[in-house]
Structures are given as C-alpha cells and as structure tokens.
Amino acid sequence: MEFITKLLEEIGINSVLADYLSYGIEVLGIAVLCVLANFVTKKIFLTIISHVINNNKYQWDDILLERKVFHKVSHVVPAVIIYYFSSTFPAYQHLIEKGAISYIIIIGLLVMDSLLDAVNDIYRTYEVSKVKPIRGYIQVIKIVLSIIGGILVIANLIGESPIILLSGIGAISAVLMLIFKDSILGLVAGVQLTANDMVRVGDWIEMPKYGADGDVIDISLNTVKVQNWDKTITTIPSYTLISDSFKNWRGMQTSGGRRIKRSIFIDTSSICFCTEDMLERFRSIHYLTEYILDTEREIEVHNKENRINTSNKVNGRALTNIGVFRIYIDQYLKHHPKIHPNMTCMVRQLASGETGLPIEIYAFTNGTEWQMYERVQSDVFDHIFAIAPEFGLRIFQNPTGHDVKSLVGGREEEYRRVGVN
C-alpha cells in the first residue's frame, strides 16, 4: 500500500487521491488474484481430479463428481485469499474477516450438503438400500448441520461465542418443535418403519384413504412417494404409515404366488341328479374318468350294504351335475400349468341367494406379475363359463333386453302357429 501510494505521489497525484487510488488498485489486484486462483483451481486441479476419477474402476468417486463436491470446495480458495489480505485494510479488517469466515462456513455447509447427497446416492447402489433406506437420516443430519452452521454464522457476525447462542435455544425450543413438527414426526416414523421393516422402496402398498395404490419410489424424512398404477404420484406423510393402516403386498410378491378368489353363479333350477347318459358322457372326460368310476363303485357298495331301493333317486346316494362340475374344476386347476401346486387350491360352494348358487374358485397362480396373473385368471374363467353347459348347468345372470325380445318373439310365433291374433 505504501509503495503504491508513493509511486502515485511521484507522478504528481495528490496524496489524498493517491490513498484512495491505492486502495482501489489493491482491491482490484485482490479481485484479479481471486479470479486467477479460482480459474487455476477449476481448470487445472479439478480437470486433473476429473480425469483421475473418470479413468479408474470405482463408481463412488464418480458420484462425488456428479454431485459437484469438489467444485463447491474450490469456492473456498477466494475466501481464504480475501481473509489473509484483510490486514492490508486495517480500518475494515474486522468486517472483512467476519465476512470471509461466514462465507467459508456457508460454503462448508453446501459442501456437506452435496457430500451427504453423494453418500445417499452411493448407498442406493446397494441392494440393502431397498430394505433400509437412509434418506430420512441424511435429511436429519442436514437439518442439524444447517442449524449449527446458522449459529456459527450468527455468532461470528455478532462477535459472540456460539455457546451463548446455544444456551438461548432452550427458550425457543417450543417454537422450533412447532416449526419442525413434521420433521420430528417423520424422523420417529422413519426409525419405526426401518426398524420394523414395514415398507421398502419398490414395495407395492395400498392406502385407500390417501388414494395410494402402487409402488413406493422414495422414502424421505417427511414423505413417502407412491407411483400409482395410472402413473400418478401420491405423496403420503411418513408418520401416517405408523398412525394409519395400509396394505403391503410384499408378502405376496416374495411368496411366488398370487391369489385367485372369484365366484361363478349357477342357476339353481339347472341343478339335478346325473342320468346314465350324463354319466356316460362324463366318463369320457379325462379329469373325471377315475372319479366317476370310483364314486359309482362306492355308491353301489353303500346302497347294497344298506339295502336301498335305487328305483327312486331320492333314496340313497347319487351323483349330481353340480358336484361333478365342482370336481372337474378342482382337477382342472390342479393340472393347470400356471396354478401353484404347493399353495391352497380348492373349489367350494358358498351360501345360495337371489343370484343363484356361488361356486368359488380359490387358488394361486405360480407367478405374481400383474399381466400374467390377469391372463391366467381370464383363461381359467373363460374355460369354466364355456364348459358349464356340458354339465347341464346354466350360469345365472339377470334377464337382458335380448332375453325379453326372444321371449316375446317366441310367444308371437306360437300364437301365429295356433292361429290366435
């Protein structure tokens, strides 16, 4: 400063003006030095670091580069230069040092923010991240660091010890709890969700109260994001997964089987005892041959032992078309290549009602993929609906316009035949 001032005075500039110009020249020189240092840091050192990272076999350092951790660290260099040149401005040295230190603290927070994001990204490359996500914990650490950083900046600017500011936090703890209520609840919920393994990224969950029905794509401190089957995104507060009930389909997905539970309704007026012609026809069905022969022998022995008069079917035991139909469906499912052989498979009757007699099919497919499941289920019921008339059974349904039209047309034809107008 003295050298520049004397040099300016020697060329005929007023001493007062020379002082101001010397300050301006030094500020300009420091600014140029900071720009050059920043340029050298980014264009040389960061280029070397990027080259080393891009040419090694590790992936974690690539994530650090993508999150710009090293780029943000480079912003510290100009602040350090300004801090060490502050002594050349004695009148403003204190303010310059405070400003430089505050800037370094803020840059440090930004670096830690990027570093924590990089840690989360690295962790997500492992399969364990789907079981135990850490994003919620990362966000808690960010909040704590932001609070600490804010206290250090304020303490630095007012020239007081951070401990004094920390001692005053107790007085505003109620306000902080109100402000960070969702974060605190989310943290507690996140710990419980992780500890109890209640939900993972990739799980299919169903929560009708919030309109959620799809895959979990993200678990954070405050929210859980669910991508529904129509590709919309539903955001659910984390703590509601603890306070409310939800359905997690992970058990179904890991079991390897998906349940079919659907009924067909039989018109009860079509249920009857099997005639000899019907039994003869049923014997030719592969899935029923052995059953029909064994049951006929069993019935014959039973009727003989009990001296039952078989001239009337009401006496003794006899096969019914609905019973044979039920056995056929059971055997059809057990021989189906897409039905899981080691899970429950049964065909049962439910209580009859105004819509007929329900025959419920309860079985599991041997895969959980949605399209495959729907295709198998449709194929099974296509076959059942088509085969029911072969057993003399009618599927119940309410009369349609076609039924009414056919009935009216049939009566008109009958009237014309008998000559009634």
Quickly state the pLDDT bin for 418 (edges 50, 70, 90): low
Q: What angle do CA 215, 218, 224 make, to 5 degrees?
A: 85
Quickly state the pLDDT bin for 403 (edges 50, 70, 90): low
Q: Evaluate whether 123 touches 132 at the Cβ level (below 8 Å).
A: no
Q: Which has more pLDDT, 83 or 310?
A: 83
Q: Evaluate whether 71 touches 42 at the Cβ level (below 8 Å).
A: yes
> What is the residue whose two structure tokens read 């006496």?
315
Q: Tell me the CA end-to-end span of the chain in Å, nearest whole number.
A: 126
> What is the residue whose two structure tokens read 């979990």?
216
256-272+320-421 carries CATH number 3.30.70.100: yes
| Residues whose CB falls within 8 Å of the CB of residue 188, separated by 6 or more in sequence, listed in order | 239, 242
Q: How many CA atoms lie within 13 A of 112 on its CB side?
A: 17
**318, 324, 325, 331: CA torsion to nearest 10:** 160
Predicted confidence (pLDDT) at residue 399 exceeds the cutoff of 70:
yes
Q: Give the residue among 313, 285, 289 at the shortest CA–CA distance from 299.
A: 313
pLDDT digit string (tens) for 114-162?
888 888 888 888 877 776 777 777 877 887 888 888 888 888 887 777 7
Q: What is the share, in percent, of the chain residues with pLDDT greater than 90?
A: 24
**Res 4: pLDDT:** 65
Tokens encoding 152: 């250090």
Quickly state the pLDDT bin for 317 (edges 50, 70, 90): confident
Q: Tell me the domain boundaries of the chain.
A: 2-128, 194-255, 256-272+320-421, 275-317
Model-level pTM? Answer: 0.56
Q: What is the mean pLDDT of residues 58-82?
A: 80
Coil/strand/helix, residue 57: coil
Predicted confidence (pLDDT) at residue 415 exceeds the cutoff of 70:
no
In CATH, the number for domain 194-255 is 2.30.30.60
Q: What is the mean pLDDT of residues 302-308?
A: 80
Coil/strand/helix, residue 267: coil
C-alpha pair distances (Å), 358 with each of 319, 327, 349, 377: 19, 15, 6, 17
Q: Give the residue among 236, 229, 234 at the shortest CA–CA distance from 193.
A: 236
pLDDT digit string (tens) for 218-264?
887 778 899 998 899 999 888 888 888 888 888 888 888 999 999 99
Q: Evaluate whether 37 touches 78 at the Cβ level (below 8 Å).
A: yes
Q: Which has more pLDDT, 43 or 8?
A: 43
